Amino acid sequence: MISVEEARKFIDEHHASWGSERVSLGESLGRVLAEEVRADRDFPPFDRVTMDGVAIGYEAYVSGRREFEVSGVQYAGEAAKNISGDDQCLEVMTGAVLGSSCDMVIRYEDVVFHDQDGRRFATISDEQGFRWKNVHRQGSDQKEGEVLLAPGQVIHAGVLAILATVGRMETYVQKFPKVAIVSTGDELVDVAQIPKAYQIRKSNVVMMESVLTMKGVSCSMFHLLDDYEILTKELSHILKSHDVLLLSGGVSKGKADFLPQVLEELGVEKQFHTVAQRPGKPFWFGIHQKKPVFAFPGNPISTMMCFQVYFMPWLSKQLHTYSDTSVAVLTEDVVFKPDLGYFVQVSLQSHQGRLYAMPQAGNGSGDLVNLAKSTGFLYLPAGQEVYKKNKEYLVYSFSPL
C-alpha cells in the first residue's frame, strides 16, 4: 500500500499526447492550441485614432497655432484622408485611420467649433499636446510575422478573438484522447431499467461520461460481467482501440474481483494497487503500451473521489488546461484516527477572497446521496488524528463555485 503522495507521483510521471486535429474557429473554444500563430500584418495595421476629436499636424501646434479650418471628417472604415495645409484639421472618429499629414489628435472636450462665412473652424484649448497624442501607432503592439500565440495555450475568448483577427477560420488543436469507460459487476443495470431488489443502477460510469463529455472528450461506454473469460476477451479489444481506460469496480479482494489479475495478464504493467486513503483504498493504476489504465473501486464515493482527485488533474495536465485544485479553510475540527489520507466531503463557500470548507458527514463510501450536500473533497494528509479548524488544506471541487 502506497501513500496518496506516492500515488500522485506515479500518475504524474506518465505523460501522454494524442496528436492534433484541425477544427473550425467556432469549435476551438476551450481547446488547446497545437500550432504557432503569427501576425498576418502589423498590429494595429495603421495609425489608429483612439479619441473622437480633431487631427492636426504637430509642427503647427508647436508653432503656437490653435485655430484650424475643418477640411473634412474621417470616419472609421474609410480610406485615409489628409489636410493640405498647416492651418487645417480633420474631424476624426475613434478607430479611424490617421492620414500621413497629421500626427496628433485633440479630443472633442478640448475643442470649440465656430462657423464663419460658410467655413467651419476649430479652436483648441489643449496645452498638453505632443506628437502622436491619442494615436495608436501602426505596429506598436506586434509587427507582421511576430508570434502572437504559442502551442499549448488554452483557447479562451481572448485567444479566439486573436485567431479571428488574423483570419484563422480553422486552427490546429490538441486531440482529446479516446476514453473507454468500463463498468463491471453482475449487480449493475442501465439507468433506464428498474432494478431488482439485489441490483443497482450504473451511476459511476454515467457520472464520468457526463463530466468528460462536458469537456469535449469522446467516451465509449462498456459494461462487463464478473466473468474472467469475458473480462479478458473484451478488455483486450478495448485496450487496442482506446487511449485511456477508466474502470469502475472489480479491484477489491472479493472472489469475483478479477480485474487486477486480468489486466496484468493482458500486459498492463501495474504501477500500484491500494492507496493509504479513505475512501478509495483499492485504487489500481497501470500502463499498457503508454496507455494509462485507471481502475477505481466500485463504491460511488470512492469512484467519484479517485476520478476527481487523480484522473481529472492528470488529464488537465496532459491537455494544459485548468485543473480545479485549490486550498480551502476547514471550518470545524475533524477527528480521523486511521493513519490514512482522508478525503472528506465538504461544501465550499467563498468569502472575501478565501475558500471555506464545511465537512458534510455521510454514511460511508456507498452513501451516494450525501454528494448532493457536497461540492468537493478536502484532503487531510495522513499522520494526525485531529485536524484543526482554520487550517488550509488542498481541495478538489466538483461543482462550480
Backbone φ, ψ for residue 194 (5° rounding):
-95, 115
Q: Is 331 exposed, middle or buried, given 0-12, 13-18 or 19+ CB atoms closer than 10 A?
A: middle
Largest CA distance in the chain: 104
Mean pLDDT, the chain, rounded, equals: 92
* Residue 16 Ramachandran class (φ > 0 left, ψ -120 to 50 alpha, else beta): beta
* Alpha carbon distance 116, 92 (integer Å): 21
pLDDT of residue 216: 86
pLDDT of residue 256: 61
Sign of the Cα pseudo-torsion (168, 172, 174, 177, in order): positive
Are 107 and 62 contacting, i.e. CB atoms less than 8 angstroms apart? Answer: no
User: Which cell goes with 66?
Assistant: 490653435
What residues contact residue 196 under an 8 Å CB cut-off, 6+ apart? none
Q: Amino acid identity, residue 145?
A: G
User: Which cell goes with 250?
Assistant: 472489480
* Alpha carbon distance 309, 304 (integer Å): 8
3-state secondary structure labels for all residues of 356-392: EEEECCCCCCCCHHHHHHCCEEEEECCCCCEECCCCE
Q: Is 139 exposed, middle or buried, given 0-12, 13-18 or 19+ CB atoms closer than 10 A?
A: middle
Are 25 and 160 contacting, i.e. CB atoms less than 8 angstroms apart? Answer: yes
* Alpha carbon distance 239, 250 (integer Å): 17
Pick the closest to residue 274 from 254, 288, 260 (CA basis). 260
pLDDT of residue 324: 57
* Alpha carbon distance 220, 212 (integer Å): 11
pLDDT of residue 68: 98
pLDDT of residue 367: 66
Are 220 and 242 contacting, i.e. CB atoms less than 8 angstroms apart? Answer: yes
Domains of the chain: 4-18+176-319 (3.40.980.10), 22-38+148-174 (no CATH), 48-136 (2.170.190.11), 325-397 (2.40.340.10)
User: Considering the entire predicted model, what is its pTM?
Assistant: 0.80
pLDDT beneath 50: ranges in the chain: none
| In the block, residue with C-alpha cell 462550480 | 400
Are 201 and 193 contacting, i.e. CB atoms less than 8 angstroms apart? Answer: yes
